[in-house]
Structure 1
Amino acid sequence: MTARHEFQPPTRVTPEQSGPALSRALTWLFSVTCALAVANVYFAQPLLASMARSLAVSPGLIGVVVTVTQIGYAAGLLLIVPLGDRLDRRTLILGQLLLSAAALTVVALAQHWTILLGAMLLVGLLAVVVQVVVACAATLAEPAQRGQAVGTVTSGVVLGILLARFTSGVIADLAGWRAVYGVSAGLMLVMAAVLYKKLPVTAAAPVRHSWWGLVASTCRLFISEPMLRTRGVFALLIFAAFSVLWTAMVLPLSAPPLSFSHTQVGLFGLAGLAGALAASRAGRWADQGLGQRVTGLSLVLLLLSWLPTAWAETSWLALVAGVILLDFAVQAVHVTNQSLILAVRPEAQSRLVGAYMCFYSTGSALGAVTATQVYALWGWLAVCLLGAAISAAALVFWWHDAGRSR
């Protein structure tokens, strides 16, 4: 977007406009925004052992940090994201980024367990800015290119999830786990300033619902849209499996005989960059009508990924192979899910994304709290069996759904 003089207001884009409103530069800006925002949800995973020592919390309980963050995320999906169908998304995005900076600052300064949990709840609540950005990109894109646009933006989400672990590990090794959240707070302020200059005003569709009406209509989508329900179940299961691996993995890697540093643990996130490639390509495949096939093949890979992962305590190369397979599979299904549900009701894209991501957040929270407990009781092999069982359930559900659709 260009300005003729210093005080020209941002461009206003209506839901009917597309194509030129979503330039390549703006698409990648959306992608970077999503990467930085979603990273706030995942910074804690490589830091759990350090957080437990710092705040005198038992290893079996520290997984609650991830669970509380996901609970906040789920609440934001229902209470904040639907507002994107009623309000100017530009204002909504900027407000969430500024409040996220404040919540992250509290996390960085927290000295007590309860304060940390409360602040992480707010971090999760405000991280749903990612879903507002995804819905904004889908609105601005041409219908025939919507899947590709969502895939490109979602690739930023994948990069944020994966690089969060690496960057948080590096920063924590250099300056402690609190510095991770202080740096992120600064980045949220920077992104708010950039988007204030570059993001067009997106006039929402003429939705007459009040805030509570929007929340209620989001809940009704679960009943009225079978595509949402089906794809939501896939999201719950794949992200439960995803969270089982990434939450519990830090515990055996940080313990003897491996005793990896934060940076070394975070490096495993780089192994999953194949998932970012899958995110972009899966959107194109969904645009071509191949969503069901992509889902089935990806779920097979998800199940197979647990075989090499089970050898993590004796072979870090096996773990790398498992991480690549799992991240590729999860993100391919995730992008396919979003591409399909966003095409159902164009006038309700924010509510559809919010409703769908409730399944994602629920699965992530359940996977996190279950994985740490299972590891504390029975060890790493039991964690892998748990992940494989969840993956198998997702594949069985796909087989049943594919049979019904024939």
Structure 2
Amino acid sequence: MALCSGAAVANVYLAQPLLELFARSLHASPSSTGVVVTCAQLGYATGIMFLVPLGDVRRRKPLLAVLTVATVATLLGAAAAPSLAVLAAATALIGGATVIPQVLVPLAAELAPPERRASIVASIQIGLMTGIIASRVVGGTVGELLGWRAVYLLAAALTAAAGIATINLLPREHARPAATGYGALLASLPRLLATEPVLRHSSLLHALLFGAYTATWTSLVLVLTHEPFHYSSAIAGLFGLLGLAGAIAAPWAGRFIDRRGALPIITAALLLTLLSAGAYALGQTSLAAMIVAIVLANVAVQWSQIANQARIFTALPHARSRANTVYMVAVFLSGALCAALAAACYAAGGWPAVCGLQTLLATAGLLVMPVVRRHDRTQPTPA
């Protein structure tokens, strides 16, 4: 499940190390290529909204098979895109189809014993983070050597292989009676958000933190490939290896949450994000500061994801797929919006403006935390 999740989620982030290559190949400005990243995030949020809730009422194996076929087909379409507009549309479709991880994560939480739920979620998140990192490192390297179209062809092959293997290895499921129609299933999502404070809190907190992460992460390649660094896309992509710090820190966070709860980890993640914004600002002229910033940001986003998902899976055992849908739609809408805001900030004020956006979002998250603590003191949430 972790391997398949990593292969699938990488498709959402393929474009990030390739922006400079898109600009050269498709005769577009570097700042305009950011629309591809935004479309991928919006497509992913749309796919989560309309497909992931089916996990509460349908067997997962057939659902995963359909998603795998659709993802491979759209990746092949992106590889053949003749213009930036067509590529952006194709990446939106890729995002909509490649929601496989968001079907698997609630399933993993369902299969896990309660006392190890956060640790199991952390294991899946290691796969997810590794996939995101690989998309930058492998994508940047392959793109520099063989062109950006080869990156999408390679992603199609890897997605097909991982999807087929995982579908064959998943335990057999019993038939699940669809007591709720599809329309009613979707209609239950806003009601779930309105009636469940834990879901509202966790969705907002991680949306702010993921938005902060996305703002700098999507603009980072533009900094590294221009003055004073002048790295190639391949070298810039190698900076993604620093994100392994988040994967390394994930198991410890999962064990801590299982023993002590999620809120200390969420608070720490927001503080690390705030610190990383300052280090990113210094990183425009200091390679050491840039490295520190990348490590802090990746640890923070990993911790926040594990902690917030553990909260909602424990609070809503009867609706894990739908709760995950609401949560992830909020998160990726924030990612799409913040990617667009980061492009505008970079065009208006350069890298310092992007770092300021990350600072603002992390600070907003810290201001929300007292409300969350008051709620959990009156109505404790086990995870």
Question: TM-score band, normalised by the shorter chain?
Answer: over 0.9
CA drift of 1:132 comes to 0.2
The yes-or-no answer on 1:271 pairing with 2:245 is: no
Hey, what's the Cα distance between the residues in 2 that align with 1:345 and 1:392? 28
Hey, what's the Cα distance between the residues in 2 that align with 1:53 and 1:344? 49
Q: Give the partner amino acid of 2:51.
A: I
**Which residue of structure 2 aligns with residue 38 of structure 1?**
9
Cα deviation code 1:340-394 (max 9, x no counterpart): 1011222211111111101110111011111111111111111111111111111
Q: Would the alpha carbon gap of residues 92 and 58 (structure 1) be closer, same or farther in structure 2, given more than 3 Å must change?
A: same
The yes-or-no answer on 1:56 pairing with 2:27 is: yes
Percentage of identical aligned residues: 38
Contact 2:215 2:339 in 1 (8 A): yes
User: How do 1:5-404 residues align onto structure 2 when only pairs under 5 Å count?
Assistant: 30-203=1-174, 206-404=177-375
Stretches of structure 1 that go unaligned for 5 or more consecutive residues are: 1-29
Using the size of structure 2 for normalisation, the TM-score is 0.95
CA drift of 1:283 comes to 2.2
Q: Could you say what secondary structure the match of 1:80 adopts? A: helix
Hey, what's the Cα distance between the residues in 1 that align with 2:340 and 2:199? 25
Q: Could you say what secondary structure the match of 2:315 adopts? A: coil
Q: Give the partner amino acid of 2:342.
A: A
Q: Would the alpha carbon gap of residues 187 and 216 (structure 1) be closer, same or farther in structure 2, given more than 3 Å must change?
A: same
Contact 1:90 1:199 in 2 (8 A): yes
Cα deviation code 1:311-346 (max 9, x no counterpart): 222222211100101111111011000011011222
CA drift of 1:403 comes to 4.2
Hey, what's the Cα distance between the residues in 2 that align with 1:205 and 1:226? 28
Q: Give the partner amino acid of 2:52.
A: V
Size of the alignment, in residue pairs? 377
Contact 2:42 2:332 in 1 (8 A): yes
Q: Could you say what secondary structure the match of 1:190 adopts? A: helix
Q: Give the partner amino acid of 2:21.
A: S
Q: Would the alpha carbon gap of residues 179 and 362 (structure 1) be closer, same or farther in structure 2, given more than 3 Å must change?
A: same
More helix by share: 2
Cα deviation code 1:285-304 (max 9, x no counterpart): 22223211111122111101
Stretches of structure 2 that go unaligned for 5 or more consecutive residues are: 378-383
CA drift of 1:112 comes to 2.0
Hey, what's the Cα distance between the residues in 1 that align with 2:20 and 2:369? 36
Hey, what's the Cα distance between the residues in 2 that align with 1:235 and 1:405? 17
Q: Mean Cα displacement is larger for which, 38-47 or 310-319?
A: 310-319
RMSD between superposed Cα atoms in Å: 1.5
Contact 2:19 2:33 in 1 (8 A): yes
Contact 2:214 2:335 in 1 (8 A): yes
Q: Mean Cα displacement is larger for which, 175-184 or 85-94?
A: 85-94
Q: Mean Cα displacement is larger for which, 283-292 or 90-99?
A: 283-292
Q: Give the partner amino acid of 1:304.
A: L
CA drift of 1:284 comes to 2.0
Q: Would the alpha carbon gap of residues 400 and 143 (structure 1) be closer, same or farther in structure 2, given more than 3 Å must change?
A: closer
Q: Mean Cα displacement is larger for which, 254-263 or 174-183?
A: 254-263
Q: Could you say what secondary structure the match of 2:260 adopts? A: coil
Q: Mean Cα displacement is larger for which, 220-229 or 113-122?
A: 113-122
